[in-house]
Structure 1
Amino acid sequence: MLVGGVLLGSGLTAGLFALGDVARYAGSASLALLLVGGALSLLDWRLHTRHVLQRAHRQRAHARQSRNLLKTLIETIPAPIFYKDAEGRYLGCNQAFSEYIGLREMDLVGKSVFDIAPQELAITYHQADQELLAAGESQKYEAQVRYANGQKRNVVFHKGVWRSADDKPEGMVGLFLDITELKQTEAALAKARDNAEKASQAKSEFLAVMSHEIRTPLNAMLGMTEVLSESELNDEQRKRLDLLHRAGESMMRLINDILDLSKVEAGRLKLELRPFDLEKMLRAEIGLIADLAQEKGLSVTLRLDKNAPKRVLGDTHKLRQVLSNLLGNAVKFTDQGEITVSAAQVDGAAGEANLIRFEVRDTGIGVQEEHQQEIFAPFAQEDESITRRYGGSGLGLSICRSLVEMMGGELAMQSGGTNGGSVFTFTVPLPKAVMELAVEASAAEARREQIVTATPTQQPQADAQPARLLLVEDAEDNISLMRAYLGKQPVELIIARNGQEGVDAFREQPVDLVLMDIQMPVKDGFTATREIRELEAEQGLAPTPVIAVTAHAFPEDIERCVDAGCDAHIPKPVRKKELLELIGRYANGGGNG
């Protein structure tokens, strides 16, 4: 006590001198040493205690700083955040969560979800918390919450487990994000998409109906002009008849362009890849415009690069449609000179993936530079004088560009300006056709050519046995046209005015060939054809050729004809030459023999 009093009551130095005096007074050196050693131990204890207290103070300050930082961070986040213990009791939250539940944090602590949420929602939240603690992994799920004002909102929860130092689950922390507006936007977009799809479908159906309704009278009009052209006419009459025929053909092209554009916009076109002979395809397209070019005194030249592959794999129908449009424009807008069609393999594209560059060059009226991009827009032409002089819908190049892009290529043009001619160039990837695939697909292509498009060359022989033809058609104008077409042919024509009459007539007497319309009252052509095939199967008869003669000209309509059992398809307006060729091919067993 004496030593402690000395040390505590004086400074350190004074205390040590005091210990020395005490030791001398006591007259014992050993006692002096003992007292000094005790004093030093006490000094060491005091210094250690001070260090521990200072460290504890720093740790408490650091902990307060960490808590303040964490609290600030949590409060800064606009999303409601909460944390609970393992029993589901709230330990705290941020201001956003307090506003959501309408409780201060101090009033929330110690409560469970059953104290603050409706029973049905509380059960859902509690089950999710139990699953979270059992799994020990983070959760993310959508749910509904009810705000303090009673409003229900859609939210997405994010929850995680927080653990003790020995990795035991101590509780959970979670937040939720309000996605009500997002859900409303998604619903609005889904509704808009659904409405757009319905509108697109309605437009497609409308165009299909209009196509049928326009093609039907056009069939009679163009057909009768063809019949009249075989009559003896004076020059003025023939001139007027040609004018009528050209007007009908122009209307037909306009209908086809609008239908094509509609299918492109609706995304209904699909690529149908088949092997084909590149040179043969190009010569076929040139052959289609050769007569018209010759009438205008134009020469048409094909330049095929020697390195271009012979057989390639591609959508020959769409490729021919692009070339047909470009060649048609070249002939239309060129009054003198020449048209050159070129095809070459692009350098560096050797191997399986051939990039073929096609070029259609003319010496026509050209396009001014400022209009060279505009002409690819729908319904666009350089100016009104072009439309008045040359006609056309202005859809062709827009359709061409869409088809080329669909095939993975690009379409561009260059022109020397007014009267400087034009060069249209497009590239399309056309892989080389594998030999085995080419042989197999060629057979399928030949079969499809026979079934779907059927453009043979044989015509009825004048001295052949009259063929019995069953015409199933409801439109009187088209019946009259067929009679006019077949009046001088060695055929016996039997008329049925709807699908049911057609089936009944087929059942009553055998025929050599059926010309089947599709859209008819009582029973349509698809159903009638299927029933005819069923009758043949029941009676053990050989299949009778059925040719669909219809204003339904969409590719899917042609496929439906094939699926129903038709052997060939010819679209309205019907050309006399094509009809007679088909009859010559299929009548008297020619098609199925």
Structure 2
Amino acid sequence: MTAPPATPPPPPFGNSPEPAMPVPAIADAAMLAAVVDASGAGITVADATRPDHPIVYCNSAFLEMIGYAAEEVIGRNGEFLQGPATDPETAAAIRSAMADAQPLSVEVLNYRKDGSVFWNALNLRPVPGPGRQARWIAASCADVTDNRRSQEELRAADDQLTRLAAETFALAEKLDGAREEAEAARVAAENASRAKSRFLAMMSHELRTPMTAVIGMGDLLMGTGLNDQQRAFVKTLRSSADTLMTILNDVLDFSKIEAGQLTLEEIDFSLPRLVEDVVQLFLVRAAAKGLSLSASIADDTPRHIRGDPTRLRQVLFNLVSNAIKFTDRGAIEIAVWSPDPPSALTAPDAAAADSHSDPVTLRFEVQDNGIGMTEEQRARLFDAFVQADASTSRKYGGTGLGLAICKRLVEAMGGDITVISAPGRGSTFRFSIAARLAEASPVGELGARPALSGAAGAESDAPTRVPLRLLLAEDNDINRMLVVAMMTRIGHQIDAVTDGRAALDALAAADYDALILDMEMPVLDGRSAARAIRRMDGPVSRIPIVGLSADALPEHRDGHMAAGLDAYLTKPIDWEQLNAVLVDLATRPQEGRVVPIPSRPPDDGGQFSALPLVDRVKLAELRLALGGEALDGMLQLLPETALRELTAIRSALQAGRPKELKQAAHTLAGLAANFGAPRMAAIARAINDNPTDAEKAAALLPLLETAVAATSSLVRDPVGSDD
């Protein structure tokens, strides 16, 4: 360590120093120097009488902090530690305090000799001389970089939780409004009810992309090193995200049912595996409340049946989830039986083959020891947006849609649902469905997960984990990181690119088992990329392609599938479903897989003029859903917004920026479609689908300009004709 200069240390720091102890000055100076060096804090002393306030003393802790030697520090002004990222206002405050010999405490960004930065907690204190004028300026320094970083991380977490709370509150307000609308819609005409449900579905799907990121990143964050407070924050975030996702799914399901869009699958599946699936999902949650959860299936009940396993599983999920929610102690039991078991179960001969087409009634019972219900509460339990009473909603949460959805699903599957309950004596939900015997024993049906114990092993072995080499094309950084992390955790090897053009290059350079393709990307979107892949030469044209999108509308799904996809899944991503689809497509024998052939995109010539400027039916639906005053206010903003996006399209085309062109066209197409302007939406969508084709975009631009002007005129003056 370099010895301090000959200049004696200043007297003890403070505005009114105490008289020195009666010991020799040399001994006093040596003692003070030893104490200062042993303190562990960085200490400097500057000369307050000289204009540049040079440093005349510093201890070893300060030298270790900044990485300089003593001879490089003594005689220099302390500003040599500042750099480009130092806050100018903070630097000015330090200069002013030094010039006026005033005390100051700040945190300033300083630079070490090697160029690295650190946050310095700087405390300046003037030390008076014999004439009580400031003779020295003493400074204590401490590296608080780690504390600063921790504080910033905590602030970021607080900000994130605040934003999530605001979003949750806003969504709760929307759901309150939806509940009131649903009550009013019950006495309205069927068309009004369907218009409301359609509008809910259209608006709700916009939440699916950010919810994928919130849920997935929450799961990944829980697997990292967090302190107790951060872990509590993440658990709250993840729990809130699950609640939001449940509400969103309930609203979407109810909307589909009310709009008559519910379709049931007819596939073979294992009934014991499905029931075990439900039990295993809720075992941990039940155990956390000290509840036992079990299931039994009567011996003469058919094991392999044909029907819709997804919707049956959804009904059981809801009933078991409610049973756990409203039960504080005791047991929850699931029972399954068939009141009319087919003879084919006991006589599986050729003559019994015709019995596969005969209906089979299956009955299910979910019994709990929970809080129970009164007769009045039971009478309205299956109504939409209704819970047992107001206190139930406050204490347990939920939308009041779950049992209404269950009732409609059970009825769609040819059965009915009832409840037996009494206050304090628990509840028993019973429902039935009509099914048929499976045509063949199902193997590894979609959505089945291996049992957590050996209890269900007799039915069939758990499906073998199949590692795949995957390619992902996704432009959103968060979603790309999330899919890569989840697929890697499952056991697959995955590469990622940011657009469709990069996906084509990657497929030409390496072999992959399957492609995960986001449908909305710059440079080359999902539809265009899928069509281009199917036109490629060699085996790469047959690669399984799974499309991902937040767009849950059926007509858009059909358009995506027509581009040559093998499967199409909506966000938030169901990771088990995505994995099952990928494994199924990638491992299916080539001779057993039909490669989709993309349909030709519709010809633009003459088709746009056949579309109306304004869809009166769409506007009528929106008027019913939003109210006339709200819709009129929104429509008044349409011309200005459309003109702004049109200007962005024109500028991007002239500057040769296809990414900006696509973004502006995509925004305008969505805006026009949402507010019933089909001609404007179709032309903008055509530009969005071909952002790199400058010639085609230039040909479409005059048509778009005309459509925007005519539509805006019609919106401002609705008395005129549609065209």
- 2:313 match: 320
- 1:425 match: 430
Q: Distance in 2 between matches of 1:562 and 1:314?
A: 24
Distance change in 2, residues 1:493/1:388 (3 Å):
same
Q: Distance in 2 between matches of 1:519 and 1:552?
A: 10
Distance change in 2, residues 1:240/1:398 (3 Å):
same
Distance change in 2, residues 1:280/1:221 (3 Å):
closer
Distance change in 2, residues 1:430/1:197 (3 Å):
same
Instruction: Mark the runs of 5 or more structure 2 residues left unpaired by the alignment.
Output: 1-188, 344-354, 450-461, 591-723
Secondary structure, counterpart of 1:259 in structure 2: helix
2:409 corresponds, among 374, 389, 403, to 403
TM-score (norm 1): 0.55
Q: Distance in 2 between matches of 1:549 and 1:566?
A: 10
In the alignment, structure 1 residue 360 sits paired with structure 2 residue 366: yes
Letter in 2 for 1:268: Q
Secondary structure, counterpart of 1:413 in structure 2: strand
2:290 corresponds, among 297, 306, 310, to 297
Residues 5-47 of structure 1 deviation map (CA, whole Å, 9 limit, x = unaligned) = xxxxxxxxxxxxxxxxxxxxxxxxxxxxxxxxxxxxxxxxxxx
Deviation, structure 1 residue 374: 1.1
In the alignment, structure 1 residue 310 sits paired with structure 2 residue 303: yes
Letter in 1 for 2:495: L
Secondary structure, counterpart of 1:531 in structure 2: helix
Q: Distance in 2 between matches of 1:524 and 1:400?
A: 38
- 1:210 match: 203
Q: Distance in 2 between matches of 1:278 and 1:471?
A: 34
Q: Distance in 2 between matches of 1:544 and 1:477?
A: 26
The sequence identity of aligned pairs, in percent, is: 36
Secondary structure, counterpart of 2:371 in structure 1: coil
Residues 246-299 of structure 1 deviation map (CA, whole Å, 9 limit, x = unaligned) = 100111111111111011111111232233332222222222222222222221
Distance change in 2, residues 1:446/1:315 (3 Å):
closer
In the alignment, structure 1 residue 549 sits paired with structure 2 residue 542: no
- 1:25 match: none
Distance change in 2, residues 1:375/1:458 (3 Å):
same
Q: Distance in 2 between matches of 1:582 and 1:233?
A: 34
The 5-angstrom pairing of residues 247-286 of structure 1 reads 247-286=240-279
The 5-angstrom pairing of residues 364-513 of structure 1 reads 364-417=370-423, 419-433=424-438, 437-438=439-440, 442=442, 458=465, 467=469, 469-482=470-483, 485=486, 491=493, 493-497=495-499, 499-500=500-501, 502-503=503-504, 506-507=507-508, 511=512, 513=514
- 2:658 match: none
Distance change in 2, residues 1:560/1:246 (3 Å):
farther
CA contact (8 A) 2:293 2:331 kept: yes
Distance change in 2, residues 1:238/1:534 (3 Å):
same
Q: Distance in 2 between matches of 1:513 and 1:315?
A: 27
In the alignment, structure 1 residue 572 sits paired with structure 2 residue 577: no
Q: Distance in 2 between matches of 1:582 and 1:216?
A: 20
CA contact (8 A) 2:474 2:518 kept: yes
Q: Distance in 2 between matches of 1:343 and 1:406?
A: 19
Q: Which moved more, 1:400-409 or 1:234-243?
A: 234-243
Secondary structure, counterpart of 1:481 in structure 2: helix
In the alignment, structure 1 residue 539 sits paired with structure 2 residue 538: yes
Residues 505-549 of structure 1 deviation map (CA, whole Å, 9 limit, x = unaligned) = 5456655542211244565424422321221xx335463343333
Deviation, structure 1 residue 367: 1.5
Deviation, structure 1 residue 400: 0.5
CA contact (8 A) 1:460 1:581 kept: no
CA contact (8 A) 1:211 1:551 kept: no
Secondary structure, counterpart of 1:358 in structure 2: strand
CA contact (8 A) 1:200 1:266 kept: yes
Q: Distance in 2 between matches of 1:557 and 1:315?
A: 24
Q: Distance in 1 between matches of 2:546 and 2:493?
A: 16
Instruction: Mark the runs of 5 or more structure 1 residues left unpaired by the alignment.
Output: 1-194, 462-466
Deviation, structure 1 residue 399: 0.5
Deviation, structure 1 residue 385: 2.0
- 1:517 match: 518
CA contact (8 A) 1:218 1:248 kept: yes
1:220 corresponds, among 213, 216, 240, to 213
Q: Distance in 2 between matches of 1:456 and 1:387?
A: 40
CA contact (8 A) 2:519 2:526 kept: yes
Distance change in 2, residues 1:486/1:430 (3 Å):
closer
Distance change in 2, residues 1:448/1:299 (3 Å):
closer
Deviation, structure 1 residue 229: 0.5
Q: Distance in 2 between matches of 1:220 and 1:365?
A: 36
- 1:101 match: none
Q: Distance in 1 between matches of 2:261 and 2:374?
A: 34
- 1:229 match: 222
TM-score (norm 2): 0.46
Secondary structure, counterpart of 1:270 in structure 2: coil
Distance change in 2, residues 1:547/1:449 (3 Å):
farther
Secondary structure, counterpart of 1:387 in structure 2: helix
- 1:47 match: none
Deviation, structure 1 residue 475: 2.5
Deviation, structure 1 residue 405: 1.1
Distance change in 2, residues 1:458/1:557 (3 Å):
farther
Q: Distance in 2 between matches of 1:487 and 1:438?
A: 34
Q: Distance in 2 between matches of 1:425 and 1:486?
A: 39
Secondary structure, counterpart of 2:440 in structure 1: helix
Distance change in 2, residues 1:530/1:362 (3 Å):
farther
Secondary structure, counterpart of 2:359 in structure 1: coil
Residues 34-91 of structure 1 deviation map (CA, whole Å, 9 limit, x = unaligned) = xxxxxxxxxxxxxxxxxxxxxxxxxxxxxxxxxxxxxxxxxxxxxxxxxxxxxxxxxx
Q: Distance in 2 between matches of 1:241 and 1:459?
A: 31
Deviation, structure 1 residue 349: 8.8
- 1:529 match: 530
Number of positions where the alignment pairs a residue of Structure 1 with one of Structure 2: 376
Distance change in 2, residues 1:211/1:410 (3 Å):
same
Letter in 2 for 1:471: L
Distance change in 2, residues 1:253/1:224 (3 Å):
same
Q: Distance in 2 between matches of 1:265 and 1:209?
A: 14
Letter in 2 for 1:253: T
Residues 324-374 of structure 1 deviation map (CA, whole Å, 9 limit, x = unaligned) = 111111122212111111112226998843322211101112122211021
Distance change in 2, residues 1:494/1:411 (3 Å):
closer
Deviation, structure 1 residue 563: 5.9
- 1:137 match: none
CA contact (8 A) 1:258 1:395 kept: yes
